[in-house]
Amino acid sequence: MQLLRILQSQGFGVRRACRELIQTGRIQVNGVVVEDPDFECATAALTLTLDGQDWRYREKVYLALHKPAGFECSRQAQHHPSVFSLLPAPLGERGVQPVGRLDQDSSGLLLLSDDGDFIHRYTSPKKEVGKRYRVVCKHPVSDEQIAALLAGVQLRDEPAPLAARACTRVSENVIDLGIAEGKYHQVKRMLAAAGNRVEALCRTQVGGYALPADLAPKQWRYLEEEDLARLAEAA
């Protein structure tokens, strides 16, 4: 593939901008400066370097972001910063999208990708991909409330009760909750239907992939093959 096309595919800008990057000697291909936009590259094991920063060629990208509260999952954020402000520009330019959403006041694991099939796989309600949340409640969580969540609670505009896949008490006001549907404000609505209120919400797992303990808020990382395999385990 031509180097110019590769740069475009990896989010380095429009055709004219990428051509200028190459012709001004700012791009290295596997450690060697290349100034010919038509230079043919094999994409396997290809590493591009721009201004000293390495970028491994990826046909599609899969990311895990530790979203903090106070960020919106939108490119046109209205009242808070966008989660895209936490990513390097090339990732945003190549069109990564959130795989599902987290409200601005929620935190935790947010997946992003530019692979449409992947996004559909992990957002379609029909796929019933499990998600787990650490939920801080306003009031102590009673045994009756846990039983109600596991049995199923009726939400407005839903034809049938929704039941948690799992619900365990962490402390008096904190539970770990597992769901499959991922409907609008589902966890908050389920807790309200059970007679409590969500004060803080953190998504800790999607499918079989858990939020890494060493991924601090605002940090992100690529999902590699082993991560994608883990993600699919409980999907």
Which amino acid is residue 137, in one-letter code? C
What CATH code is carried by the domain that includes residue 115? 3.30.70.580
Q: What angle do CA 200, 179, 85 make, to 5 degrees?
A: 50
pLDDT given at position 124: 87
Number of domains into which the chain is organized: 3
Same domain, 147 and 158: yes
pLDDT at residue 204 above 70?
A: yes
Same domain, 137 and 81: no
103 in catalytic set: yes
Statement to judge: residues 146 and 196 lie in one domain: yes
Same domain, 150 and 201: yes
Q: Identify whether residues 18 and 66 lie together within a single domain.
A: no
Q: Which one is catalytic: 36, 38, 103, 176?
A: 103
Q: What is the pLDDT of residues 156-189, one digit of tens each?
A: 888 999 999 999 999 999 999 999 988 889 999 9
Q: 219 with 121, same domain?
A: yes
pLDDT bin (cut points 50, 70, 90) of residue 234 is low
Supply the range of the domain harboring residue 174: 130-206
Whether residue 19 is predicted with pLDDT greater than 90 in this model: the reply is yes
Q: Helix (H, G, I), strand (E, B), or coil: what is residue 14?
A: coil
**Chain center to CA of 173:** 27
d(CA 181, CA 177): 13
In this predicted structure, the answer to whether residue 235 has a pLDDT above a threshold of 70 is no
Does residue 148 share a domain with residue 184? yes
Read off the CATH number of the domain in which 191 is found.
Answer: 3.30.70.1560
Looking at residues 72-89, what average pLDDT do you find?
88
In whole angstroms, how far apart are CA 67 and each of 8, 129, 224? 27, 20, 19
